[in-house]
Structures are given as C-alpha cells and as structure tokens.
Amino acid sequence: MVDEELRSRIVDAADALYYARGFHAVGMDQVRDAAGVSLRRLYALFPSKDDLVLAVLAKRHELWTAGVAARVASVEGAEAKLLAIYDYLADWFVEDTFRGCGFINAFGELGAADPRVAEAARTHKESFQEFVAAIAADAGASPALAPQLAILAEGAQTTAAIAGTPDAASDARAAAQVLIRAALPARSR
C-alpha cells in the first residue's frame, strides 16, 4: 500500500510539472524534488522517464474519462448529453492550469521518438471517439456524427490552449448543436 501511495504522489508531481513545463523540460531530479522522494526510490518505482510519462498519461486518461462521463451522466436527453461534452470543456478551459490536451502535448513532444507514447495518445483519442459514438448511437444518430463531434472537441482543446482563451468551447458547442440537430430525429432530442 505504501508503494501505491508513493507511486501516486510521484505521478501527481510529474503530471503537474510535465503539464506546466513540458516533458522535455522536466528531468527526473525535478520530479524527485516535487514528490519529496529519493532518486533511488523514484527509479525503483519508475525505471525510466518513459515509464513515468506513460503512468502520467494513464492517470490523465482516467481523469478525463471519469470527468466527461460524469458530466454527460448529469443531464437528460440525447442532445443535452452530447452537448455536455462541450460544457465539460468550457469548465476545463477556464482553469488557471489549463495548457491544452496532455495527450496532444505528449504526442507533439515525444510521439515521433517514443512509439509507446504515440500509442497511448492514439488509444486515448480512440476511446473518446468510442464514447461519443455510443452516446450518438443511443440517440439514433448516424455513425458519421460521432467523429464530427469528436473533432470539434479536439479542435476546441487545441484552439483554447493556443489562443489562451476559453471561447473555443462555446464556439465548438454551437457548431456541435447544429450538427446534432441535423442528425437527430426530433423525438430523440
């Protein structure tokens, strides 16, 4: 149990550092200091920086999945459920620590050099598309709607990070609403 708590503390510290500064800019010494562990203990739990990066991405995947799912589950009706994705983004984009999608950031920095990071990013994005597809299918929409809505969400994340403003969430939500209303039968909304 102690190892799991320590592992979690290290992952949390690394996540905060990587997300704020970038993966290349943060060394294991900085993670050690932020987590308050010895370098020996850090390497005992994470034999390489790549292992730690993958653990951070796994944690981010869990947090993202749980957060989006909770937001979608909090509303009723097909249209509201699909639009709740963009409401989740709007809340995220106004956080002081928002720096875009951690998976896009990781892929951009490390994906070409580390196939495991590239695969983690792809798996995360596929999971999100499957999540959106399940909601759209439950509503009776064409399978074409899900990738369109996912692309809007992905684009909003990137745009908000680069622009430094949360406006992309409301813009993406408005575009999504047009697509949803065109795709869903009136009785499903």
Helical spans, DSSP H, in 22-163: 28-35, 39-45, 49-73, 78-93, 102-106, 115-138, 145-163
pLDDT at site 184? 83
CATH number of the domain encompassing residue 34: 1.10.10.60
Whether 39 and 116 share a structural domain? no
Whether 118 and 168 share a structural domain? yes
pLDDT at site 187? 57
| 98, 161 Cβ separation under 8 angstroms | yes
Whether 38 and 71 share a structural domain? no
Give the C-alpha separation, 167 to 174, whole Å: 11
Whether 89 and 178 share a structural domain? yes
pLDDT at site 188? 55
Task: Name residues of the chain where pLDDT drops below 50.
Answer: none
Residue 186 burial (CB count, 10 A)? 6
Number of compact structural domains in the chain: 2
**In the listed set 27, 47, 67, which residue is the last one of a domain according to the structure?**
47
| Cα-based distances in Å from 162 to 94, 104, 140, 155 | 13, 12, 35, 11
pLDDT at site 2? 72
Whether 109 and 33 share a structural domain? no
pLDDT at site 179? 96
